[in-house]
Amino acid sequence: MPSLHLDGITKQFSRHTALHDLSLTVRDGEIFTLLGPSGCGKSTTLWSIAGLHRPDSGSIAFGDRVVFDHGRVNVEPEDRNCGVVFQSYAIWPHMSVAENVGYPLKLRRTPAARRDRRVREVLELVELGDHALKYPHQLSGGQQQRVALARALAHPPDMLLLDEPFSNLDAKLRDRSRQWLKALQSQVGVTTVFVTHDQDEALSFSDRVAVMNRGRVHQVGTPEEIYRYPADLFVADFVGTANLLPAEVVAADGTRARVRVEGIGTPLDVPHTDKRLGTAKVSVRPENIHIHRAGDGTGTAPDRLTVPVEGRAYLGDHHRYSIRIGGTPVAVTTTRPVDGAELTISLSPEDIRIFPVESDPYEE
Stretch that binds ligand ATP, among 10-18, 101-109, 139-147, 320-328 (CB under 6 A): 10-18
Of 35-43, 144-152, 273-281, 348-356, the segment contacting ligand ATP by CB under 6 A is 35-43
Q: Does 44 bind ligand ATP (CB under 6 A)?
A: yes
Q: Does 42 engage in binding with ligand ATP (CB under 6 A)?
A: yes
Amino acid sitting at position 90: A
Q: In Å, how far are 87, 90, 134, 153, 158 from 138, measured between CA atoms? A: 20, 15, 6, 22, 31
Residue 43 interacts with ligand ATP (CB under 6 A): yes or no: yes
Rounded Cα distance between 99 and 105, Å, is 10
18 near ligand ATP, judged by CB under 6 A = yes
State which residue, 39 or 263, has the beta carbon closest to ligand ATP: 39
Angle formed by the axes of helices 97-107 and 141-154, nearest 10°:
20
Please state, in angstroms and as integers, the Cα–Cα distance from residue 96 to each residue in 119, 135, 252, following that order. Answer: 12, 4, 66
Q: How far is the CB of 89 from ligand ATP (least distance, A)?
A: 16
15 lies in the site for ligand ATP, by CB under 6 A = no
Asked if residue 40 binds ligand ATP (CB under 6 A), the reply is yes
Which one, 51 or 136, has the nearer CB to ligand ATP?
51
From 160, 161, 156, select the one nearest 114 (Cα to Cα).
156
39 binds ligand ATP (CB under 6 A): yes
Q: How far is the CB of 46 from ligand ATP (least distance, A)?
A: 8
157 is a site residue for ligand ATP (CB under 6 A): no
User: Which C-beta is closer to ligand ATP: that of 38 or that of 335?
Assistant: 38
Least separation in angstroms between CB 41 and ligand ATP: 4
DSSP 363: -
Shortest Cβ 173–ligand ATP spacing (Å): 20
Which spans in the chain are helix H?
Answer: 42-50, 97-107, 112-125, 141-154, 171-188, 199-205, 223-228, 233-238
Q: Which of 15, 38, 316, 339 binds ligand ATP (CB under 6 A)?
A: 38
Q: How far is the CB of 44 from ligand ATP (least distance, A)?
A: 3
Taking CB under 6 A as the criterion, the residue among 197, 292, 304, 353 binding ligand ATP is: 197
Stretch that binds ligand ATP, among 11-19, 113-121, 126-134, 355-363 (CB under 6 A): 11-19
Stretch that binds ligand ATP, among 32-40, 201-209, 298-306, 338-346 (CB under 6 A): 32-40
* Backbone phi, psi, residue 85, to 5°: -125, 125
Distance of CA 214 to the CA centre of its chain: 15
Q: State yes or no: residue 49 binds ligand ATP (CB under 6 A).
A: no
Distance between CA atoms of residues 40 and 158, nearest Å: 26
CB-CB contact of 332 with 320 (8 Å): yes
CA neighbours closer than 13 Å in the CB half-sphere of residue 224: 0
Report the alpha-carbon distance of residue 180 to residue 206 in Å, rounded. Answer: 13
- Please give the radius of gyration of the chain, using alpha carbons only, rounded to the nearest integer: 25
Size of the site for ligand ATP (CB under 6 A): 12
> Of 119 and 212, which CB lies nearer to ligand ATP in the complex structure?
212
CB atoms within 10 A of CB 109: 7
Choose the binding region for ligand ATP from 40-48, 124-132, 223-231, 243-251 (rule: CB under 6 A).
40-48
Sheet containing strand 208-213, edge to edge, reads 82-85, 159-163, 191-196, 31-35, 208-213, 216-221
272 binding ligand ATP? (CB under 6 A) = no
Write down the least CB distance from residue 169 to ligand ATP, Å.
16
Binding to ligand ATP by residue 218, rule CB under 6 A?
A: no
Residues that bind ligand ATP (CB under 6 A): 13, 16, 18, 36, 38-44, 197
